[in-house]
Structure 1
Amino acid sequence: MSITPELLHGGWSPSAPAVSPDGRWVAWVTGPVVPRGAPHAALWVAPADGSASARRLTDGARRVSLPRWTADSGALIHLADGALVRVGLDGEQVALTEWEGWVGEMIALDGGPLVLLGEPDDQEPENGITVWTGDETPAGDRLMLLAPGDIAPRRLTAPGDRHVTAVAARPDGAALAVISWDEPAEEPGAFTARLHVVDPHRDTARDMGPLPLNASCPAWWHDGTAWHVALLGVTPPGPVGGLTVLDVTVPPPGLTPGPPRDLTPDGTICPVELVQSCAGPLALFADGLDTSVRRLRPATGDFEEIARIRGLASSLATDRDGGVTALRISGPQTPNDVFVLRSDGRPRQLSDTRPQFRDVDWGTQERLTWTAPDGLPLDGLLVLPPGRSRADGPLPLVALVHGGPYARYADALQFNAYVSAQHVAAGGYAVLLPNPRGSQGHGPAFAARVVGDLGGAELGDVLAGIDQLTADGVADPARLAIAGWSHGGYLAAWAAARTDRFRAAVVGAGIADWGMQTAFGELGREEAGYSGSHGWESPGPHPHDAVSPIGHAADITAPVLILHGEQDTNVPVAQAVYLHRALRHFGVPHEFVRYAGEGHIFSDPTHQADVMHRIRAFLDRHL
C-alpha cells in the first residue's frame, strides 16, 4: 500500500488511556483521525491482564472525552457531547447533571464528589465582545465541586479569580494541589504561575509560592514525614531551557514553604509527563530517541527506571498503587496504540486501531549519531525511500527540522499532518531528521545550549549530519533541501540565508523576525529569551536582529516555499507576509500559500493534503 494523505486521514486513533484504581481495567477513547460527523469518538475498555479482548462501552453516537474512573473502579465518568455521564462496565449510562459548562479536567473523590476544572456558565462574554483596558483580569478556568445529587457544580472560591491550569487530588481526598496563573493569556499569565493547596470541603487555600514557566503535572507523594507536591517546570532560572521535576514540601499550617527543589539535577534526559500513585509519582522521560518510564522513590527522592520503551511513549496513566501502567506507544513503523506495562516492564498491546498500516510500504527508518563541529554528540533519524537502501545512494536529501526548538524526533512513525518525513521519502528522497542542540531528550543543559546562539551552532549541528550522510554516500551534496515547521520553519529560512548549500527551502509557519515574534507571539518573553532581546531595550540594533532571517533576506537565492495558517496565534501570519515581501523585493523565486481558518497546526484534511502534495511537487521541481 502506498503512502498517501488519504492514508493519514482515514481510520481511527486512540487517546486518553485511564487505569482503574484497582488496576484491573484500562479504558481509552478511540476516535476518527479526522472527525466528519458520525460516528463520533467511543469509549473502550479492556482487562489489564489481557484475559479478554477490548470492548466498546459507548456506541459512538456522542463524542466522548476525559474518561475518569470512579474511586471504587466500578464505572467511568466522562464527557458526552459536553454533558457529564456515568457509564458502568455493563455499558449502562446515567446522566449526572444537565449542566453543560466547559470542563477541561475532572477528578473523582472518595464518597462521590467530582472536582472539575473548567469554565462556569456565567463567564461567556456577551455578543462575543471583550473590552480590555489593561486593569481587568479576563475570566479563566475555575475549580468547581459537583456533589452527588447536585444539579450543577459549585465554584470553589478559595483560589480567587486566578486561572487554574492543573489540579491533583491528594490520595486521601483532603487536599488539592492547584497550579494557577494571574490570567489565562499565556503572555504574561504563564510567567505568573503559583502553587496552592486547596481544601475542597472547606473551600480554603494555602499559597505555596511561585513556580517557573511551563509548570504542570502536579503529583502528590509522601516521604514518611511530610506531604510533597512534585511537578514539571522549566529548569531555574529560566525562562528558556529544558524541563525538570521540581518538588515542593508542604509544611504544617502556619509555616512558610521553601522554594521548589530540583529532583532531576544535572540530568541527561528530560521529563515530559508526571502522574500520581500511592507508591510514588511515575514519569515519562524523553531519553534520546526512546522513552523511559521511571518511578520516584520516596525514601531517596530520586527516580528509578521501571521500563524502557523503544520509540515514543505518551499519555501515561496508572492505578492507585502504581502497579499497573498504561500508555500510548508508537514505533518506527507502527502508529500510536494503547499498551499496558507487564510486571517485567514489557508492553502488552490493548488497542489495534489502524491495522491497515501493516500493509503500507513504509520507508526504512534508521537511527543516526554524529558529532557537531564543537564535539557535541548528536542524534537523529534517517528515512529512506520505500524499497531503497543506502546502497542506492547518493540520493537527493531533505533535512527536516523539528519545531520547538525544545522538541525532538523519537524513533516513532514519522507520518503526520504537516511536513511528513514518510510522505517526502515516498517521493524518492532521503530525509534527515536531526535533533540539534536545544532539542528535548538530552537534559536541560543540552536544551539551553541554543540560548544566545540561536541559528548558530544549531544550524551547524544540522549541516554536520548532512556532511556525515554525504561522506557515507547516502546524500547527494548537489541535491539538498531544508524544510521545517514552526521553529523548524525559522531554521529553514535562516539556512537559506546563511548558506548556499541548499537548492530549496520549505518554510512552514516559520519566524522571519524575532522582534515581531516577541511582540505578537503567544510567549513573547520566552521568544526574547531565545533571540536575545525584546526590541524596547534601546534604539538598536538589537541581538534579535542579528538572528532574524528577514535581515539577511538579500542573501537568499534558493527557491522558497512559504506555508502559513491565517489564524495562527503562535507564529502570526504576518511573519510569512514579511518574508514574502522581502523575497519579492530581492527577486527570489518563491511561492506563498495562506490557508484560511488554520492555526499553527492544520486540522482541515483538505489543507493537510495540499501541504503534503505541494511540498513534494516543490521538491520535484528544484531537486
Structure 2
Amino acid sequence: MASDGGRAVVTGVVLDELTGLPRTAVYAAVDGELRAVSAGRGSARWARFSPDGGTLAFLADRREAGVFQLHLLRDGGLGEAVPAPEAPGTVEYAHWSPDGRVLLLGVAGRGADLSSGEGSGSNSRRNTERPPWFPEVEDEDVDAWRGLWVYTPATGTLDRLSPLGLNCWEAGWCGPDQVVAISSGEPGEDAWFTARLSLLDFGGGVRKLLDSPVQLALPAGSPDGTRVAVVEAVCSDRGVVAGELLLVDPATGAVRRIDTAGTDVTQVEWLDADRLGYLGQRRLDSVAGIADLPSGAVREVLATKLSCASGTFYPQGAFTSDGRVLTVQDSYSLPPQLVLSGHDSREVLASVADPGTGYLLSVAGEAEAITWTAPDGLEIDGILCRPPGEGPFPLVVNVHGGPNWAFQNCWSMRYPWVPLLVAQGYAVLNPNPRGSGGRGREFAALVVGDMGGADAHDILSGIDALVDRGIADKDRIGLIGRSYGGFMSSWLVTQDRRFAAAVPISPVTDWYSQAFTSNIASWGNRYLEADPETPGSLVHTRSPVLHASKARTPCLNVAGALDRATPPGQAREFHQALRAHGVPSALVIYPEEGHGVRAYPAQIDLLARVLRWFDRYLTSRSAPRPDLGA
C-alpha cells in the first residue's frame, strides 16, 4: 500500500495447471479488479512502495526458479520491472530505508533451512538440477547462512551489511543508517528459537539489544531511530508469531510493553516516528490498531470476526499515513477480498470471487464459532464446519499445527480437506486447544512441558460437547492433522479408543528419534522440558510409537520424503508399530514433498486417499473396527 492510500498491491497464488507448486504473482487493485503488475515469467512476491510512492520494489525468480531477486518498477505504473544486481542467494524480503535512498535485503544462502511453515527442507533442494544418482550431502561447506545486504538504486551498488558469522533471520530499519535484526551465531533452524535482537550499523558494528526466555520476531525501528518495536512470543515455528508488543530504547536498552487489549500481535509497521501500527489476533477475531507513543493511547482501527490472514498464518496488512489499514479479508463463506479499512469506513478494492469460489460455497456447508469447557474449567474455542441438515453427523476433528497457531473462520479453514469432507456429509471440528495463539502468552505457554497432556483433553472434551449437542455421532469420530496436528492425531488414538479412523500428516510419533533426526530437535526437547537421554522422561512417555499397543484405530500415515522438521521416518515408525500390533495402517510418503503436501498432482492424490480412508471407516453407523481384544 502506498503511504497515501492511493495505490494497493497484493500477492496472489496462481494455479496455471495441476502440476507442481502454484506460482505467486503481484497484482494491483485497479477499478475493482486485480491486474498483474508485471508480465515477467516465474513467481513474484513481497511488493513494497518506496516512501514517496514513486517506485515499487518486489521479488521475482525470473532467472532461476525458486531463487528470488530484487526488481524495481518505477513511476508506479504497470509494465516491465528492472532487475537489481543479483544477490548471492535468494532474497527473502526487502525494506526501503525511511528516506527511500536504499533497500535492505535479507538474503538466504542456497543451503539455508526453510521453516516448517514453508515446507521444511532447504533452498538447495528446489534450486539445483542434479542427476538421479547424486547423493544427499550434509557438510559445513554448504551456504546455510542468512545475511543482510544494502542496494542503492541511484548507483546500482549492492553491499554486504552484516558481518560473516552472524545469521540474520529477519531485519528492519532503525533510522536511515542502522538496522535491527533477529540474529544468532549459527544458521541452523533450531538456532532461531534462541535468537536475540541486535542493532547493526553501517560501520560493521553489532550490539545486542535484547534477549528473551521465549522467542523474538518482527523487528522494526522507528524512522528516526529512537525506538525499536519487536514481538515477544511463545513460538513453535519460525514465521508463525503472535505475542506481546515491546518497545526497546536502542540507546539505553529499556523495554516498554504496549497494552494491545488482549490482542496477540502478528505484524508491526511504523506510520511515523510516533505512531506504531500493529495487526493481530484476539481469540477468533482479527484486530488492527495504532499506538500513539507520546500519549500512550492505543486506538483500534479494525476489529472483525473475518480472517485477515489469507495466504499467511496470522493477520497481516499495511497501513496508510492517515491511519487506514489494508488487509485481505475472508471467512469460510466469503472468498478473499482486498479491503481498505478506516475507523469509520470500509472499502472493498477487489475480490477473487468467481464461478469456482461460487461452486465451493454451494457445497462446503457453513461454519460457526463454538466454545466448550475443558475438564479443568478452561473455556476452549473452535470453528465447526458442517453440512446442511440435522445431525448427528460423522465428525472429523482437524487438529492444527504448531502447537502455537490458531484457527480463525477463514476460507477453506486453510486446509483443503475441510470443505471436501463437509461436501461429503462430514462435520469438521477445528479446535484451538491450550497452546493456541490469540489468547495471550500464558495460554500459549500452557502446552510447554505438557504436549499431549491437557491440550489433548481440550480436544476430547470438544468431541464430548458435540456428541452431547446432537451434532456428532459418537460411533463415527475421525482425526486428521498436520505437523503438531499429526502428532496429536497419532497420540490421541493411543489414549482413547473412540476414534474410527485417523490421518496423521507430517507427524512426530517418536520424540526420541526426532531428537536426533530433526532440524528443530532442540525445540522439541525444550517444549517437552525433557532430556532424551533420561529414561522415563516425556521424550519417552509422550511418544505415540511407544504406546502403539493401546491403539485400535486404523491410521493413514502421511509424510514428505524431503521433510527435515518431522522426517518421514516418524510416520514409518508409527505405521510399523501399528502393524506389529495388528492395527490397520497405511503409509504414504510423497517423494518430492517436505513438511505437508503442497504440490500438484500430489495434493489431489492426498485428498483422494483421505476421503477414501474416512469413507471406509466412518460412513456406516457401526464403523468397522478391528477386534484386537482388551
The normalised TM-score by structure 1 is 0.85
Conserved? CA contact 1:39–1:61, under 8 Å = no
Alignment partner, residue 120 of structure 2: none
The question of 1:618 aligning with 2:613 is answered yes
Q: 2: CA distance between counterparts of 1:369 and 1:39?
A: 35
Q: 2: CA distance between counterparts of 1:111 and 1:291?
A: 31
Q: Describe the SS at the equivalent of 2:526.
A: helix
Comparing 430-439 and 514-523, the one that deviates more? 514-523
Alignment partner, residue 247 of structure 2: 247
Alignment partner, residue 69 of structure 1: 49
Alignment partner, residue 208 of structure 2: 207
Q: 2: CA distance between counterparts of 1:192 and 1:407?
A: 19
Report deviation, 1:291: 1.0
Conserved? CA contact 1:313–1:329, under 8 Å = yes
Q: Describe the SS at the equivalent of 2:267.
A: strand
* Cα distance change, pair 150–162 in 1 and its aligned pair in 2 (3 A): same
Structure 1 residues without counterparts, runs of 5 or longer: 1-18
Q: 2: CA distance between counterparts of 1:27 and 1:241?
A: 24
Report deviation, 1:52: 6.4
Q: 2: CA distance between counterparts of 1:412 and 1:112?
A: 39
* Cα distance change, pair 371–321 in 1 and its aligned pair in 2 (3 A): same
* Cα distance change, pair 561–57 in 1 and its aligned pair in 2 (3 A): closer
Q: 1: CA distance between counterparts of 2:337 and 2:585?
A: 40
Alignment partner, residue 21 of structure 1: 3
The question of 1:373 aligning with 2:362 is answered no
Where has structure 1 moved over 6 Å in runs of 4 or more? 37-40, 120-131, 238-242
Alignment partner, residue 112 of structure 1: 101
Q: Which amino acid aligns with 1:166?
A: E
Q: Describe the SS at the equivalent of 1:612.
A: helix
Q: Which one of 123, 139, 147 corresponds to residue 142 of structure 1?
A: 147
Q: 1: CA distance between counterparts of 2:463 and 2:511?
A: 27
Q: 2: CA distance between counterparts of 1:484 and 1:39?
A: 22
Q: 1: CA distance between counterparts of 2:537 and 2:21?
A: 53
Report deviation, 1:337: 3.1
Q: Describe the SS at the equivalent of 2:514.
A: helix
Q: Describe the SS at the equivalent of 2:176.
A: coil
Conserved? CA contact 2:173–2:180, under 8 Å = yes
Q: 2: CA distance between counterparts of 1:38 and 1:270?
A: 31
Conserved? CA contact 2:338–2:349, under 8 Å = yes
Q: 2: CA distance between counterparts of 1:204 and 1:569?
A: 34
Conserved? CA contact 1:398–1:480, under 8 Å = yes
Report deviation, 1:301: 4.7
Conserved? CA contact 1:38–1:60, under 8 Å = no
Q: Describe the SS at the equivalent of 2:376.
A: coil
* Cα distance change, pair 164–451 in 1 and its aligned pair in 2 (3 A): closer
Q: 1: CA distance between counterparts of 2:575 and 2:334?
A: 38
Report deviation, 1:423: 0.8
Q: Describe the SS at the equivalent of 2:52.
A: coil
| Aligned positions of 1:237-386 closer than 5 A | 243-251=243-251, 257-258=253-254, 260-264=255-259, 268-278=262-272, 279-299=274-294, 301=296, 303-314=298-309, 316-319=316-319, 321=321, 323-344=323-344, 346=346, 348-352=348-352, 354=354, 356-360=356-360, 361=362, 362-385=364-387
Alignment partner, residue 227 of structure 2: 228
Report deviation, 1:434: 1.2
Q: Which amino acid aligns with 1:210?
A: D
Report deviation, 1:535: 1.0
Report deviation, 1:406: 1.0
Q: 2: CA distance between counterparts of 1:235 and 1:511?
A: 20
Q: 1: CA distance between counterparts of 2:420 and 2:337?
A: 21
Q: Which one of 489, 492, 495 corresponds to residue 492 of structure 1?
A: 489
* Residue deviations 1:231-278 (CA, integer Å, cap 9, x gap): 112259x99997322332111xxxx524x444359x744222222221
The question of 1:44 aligning with 2:46 is answered no
Q: Describe the SS at the equivalent of 1:281.
A: strand
Q: 1: CA distance between counterparts of 2:215 and 2:22?
A: 35
Q: 2: CA distance between counterparts of 1:489 and 1:106?
A: 34
Conserved? CA contact 2:198–2:210, under 8 Å = yes
Alignment partner, residue 409 of structure 1: 407
Q: Which amino acid aligns with 1:72?
A: D
Conserved? CA contact 2:332–2:411, under 8 Å = yes
Q: Which amino acid aligns with 1:379?
A: D
Conserved? CA contact 1:71–1:108, under 8 Å = yes
| Aligned positions of 1:116-135 closer than 5 A | 116-119=105-108, 132=139
Q: 2: CA distance between counterparts of 1:474 and 1:150?
A: 65
* Cα distance change, pair 515–379 in 1 and its aligned pair in 2 (3 A): same
Q: Which amino acid aligns with 2:159?
A: R
Conserved? CA contact 1:398–1:432, under 8 Å = yes
Report deviation, 1:32: 0.7
The question of 1:163 aligning with 2:159 is answered no
Conserved? CA contact 2:264–2:440, under 8 Å = yes
Aligned residue pairs, count: 580
Q: 1: CA distance between counterparts of 2:322 and 2:520?
A: 35
Report deviation, 1:160: 4.2
Report deviation, 1:482: 1.8
Conserved? CA contact 1:229–1:247, under 8 Å = yes
Q: 2: CA distance between counterparts of 1:555 and 1:546?
A: 13
Q: Which amino acid aligns with 1:108?
A: W
* Cα distance change, pair 309–355 in 1 and its aligned pair in 2 (3 A): farther
* Residue deviations 1:493-517 (CA, integer Å, cap 9, x gap): 1111111111112211111111222
Conserved? CA contact 1:234–1:241, under 8 Å = yes
Structure 2 residues without counterparts, runs of 5 or longer: 63-67, 113-122, 310-314, 619-630
Q: Which one of 397, 400, 403 corresponds to residue 399 of structure 1?
A: 397
* Cα distance change, pair 519–280 in 1 and its aligned pair in 2 (3 A): farther
Q: 2: CA distance between counterparts of 1:451 and 1:214?
A: 13
Q: Describe the SS at the equivalent of 1:605.
A: coil
* Cα distance change, pair 228–137 in 1 and its aligned pair in 2 (3 A): farther
Report deviation, 1:322: 5.6
Q: 1: CA distance between counterparts of 2:187 and 2:461?
A: 41
Q: Which amino acid aligns with 2:220?
A: A
Alignment partner, residue 91 of structure 2: 103
Q: Which one of 495, 506, 509 corresponds to residue 509 of structure 1?
A: 506
Alignment partner, residue 441 of structure 1: 438
Report deviation, 1:146: 1.8
Q: 2: CA distance between counterparts of 1:182 and 1:324?
A: 39
Query: What is the Cα-based RMSD across aligned positions, in Å?
Result: 3.3
Conserved? CA contact 1:518–1:534, under 8 Å = no
Q: 2: CA distance between counterparts of 1:303 and 1:547?
A: 43
* Cα distance change, pair 344–27 in 1 and its aligned pair in 2 (3 A): same
Report deviation, 1:425: 1.3
Q: 1: CA distance between counterparts of 2:395 and 2:291?
A: 43
Conserved? CA contact 1:306–1:345, under 8 Å = no
The question of 1:177 aligning with 2:171 is answered no
Identity of aligned residues (%): 28
The question of 1:522 aligning with 2:519 is answered yes
Report deviation, 1:70: 2.1
* Cα distance change, pair 206–66 in 1 and its aligned pair in 2 (3 A): same
* Cα distance change, pair 517–297 in 1 and its aligned pair in 2 (3 A): farther
Conserved? CA contact 2:330–2:337, under 8 Å = yes
* Residue deviations 1:65-85 (CA, integer Å, cap 9, x gap): 221212321121223424533
Q: Which amino acid aligns with 2:376?
A: D
Q: Which amino acid aligns with 2:403?
A: P
* Residue deviations 1:448-485 (CA, integer Å, cap 9, x gap): 22223322221221121111211111111121112211
Report deviation, 1:205: 3.9
